[in-house]
Amino acid sequence: MREEFRSLDESLLPAVVEIERASNASPWSENSFRAEIGSSEGEFLVLLSGGIPVGFGGYWAVVDEAHITNIAVAPEHRRRGFGRRIMEELLRRAAQRGLVCSTLEVRASNHPAVRLYESLGYQTVARRRRYYPDNQEDALVLWLYDLTPWKT
């Protein structure tokens, strides 16, 4: 199946919002995604497989850091490597942009996501108690300190 990354645009918004609603307990609004379209402060990518949007991910460039803002894969397409592919593409693009490190927050109970991030070299460095307002869950703060290997 042919796979391609596209930058988020208006035509991809409905699919992205649907994936988000199926994936996130406190989903971003459509307008939050719309604000990412064409932003020069970061990138927001949608992965299509056989022409179908299967997942998305984005980062903000904050000084020299790539802050991963959101990533999700549609439930029916999980465990097929798409999440890893999206993260790898974000890290490659961030490194090529000259960013030197990356950080993100994740719910403490989100083991699939934590395992994905750790497999890419992220380390858990802090815990923010009761960070998520919907269920008072703690957030883990992860850092990937060196994006140099992602430049090539």
Ligand X SMILES: CC(C)(COP(=O)(O)OP(=O)(O)OC[C@H]1O[C@@H](n2cnc3c(N)ncnc32)[C@H](O)[C@@H]1OP(=O)(O)O)[C@@H](O)C(=O)NCCC(=O)NCCS
Which residues are marked as active site?
A: 105, 117
Which residues are registered as beta bridge partners of 48? Answer: 4, 53
If the CB atoms of residues 83 and 95 are measured against ligand X, the closer one turns out to be 83
67 contacts ligand X (rule: CB under 6 A): no
d(C-alpha 120, C-alpha 27), whole Å:
25
Using CB under 6 A, which of 119, 123, 135, 148 touches ligand X?
A: 119
Site size toward ligand X (CB under 6 A) is 20
113 contacts ligand X (rule: CB under 6 A): yes
If the CB atoms of residues 107 and 147 are measured against ligand X, the closer one turns out to be 107
139 contacts ligand X (rule: CB under 6 A): no
Using CB under 6 A, which of 80, 92, 93, 97 touches ligand X?
A: 80
C-alpha to C-alpha distances, 89 to 65, 67, 70, 123, nearest whole angstrom: 16, 14, 14, 19
Rg (CA), the chain: 15
Contact indicator for 73, 54 with CB cutoff of 8 Å: yes
d(C-alpha 25, C-alpha 41), whole Å:
26
Site string for ligand X, 24-43 (x = CB under 6 A): x-------------------
Contact indicator for 120, 91 with CB cutoff of 8 Å: yes
Distance in Å, CB of 6 to ligand X, minimum = 17
The token duo for 21 is 């609603």
The residues that touch ligand X, with contacts defined as CB under 6 A, are 23-24, 71-73, 78-84, 106, 110-113, 115-116, 119
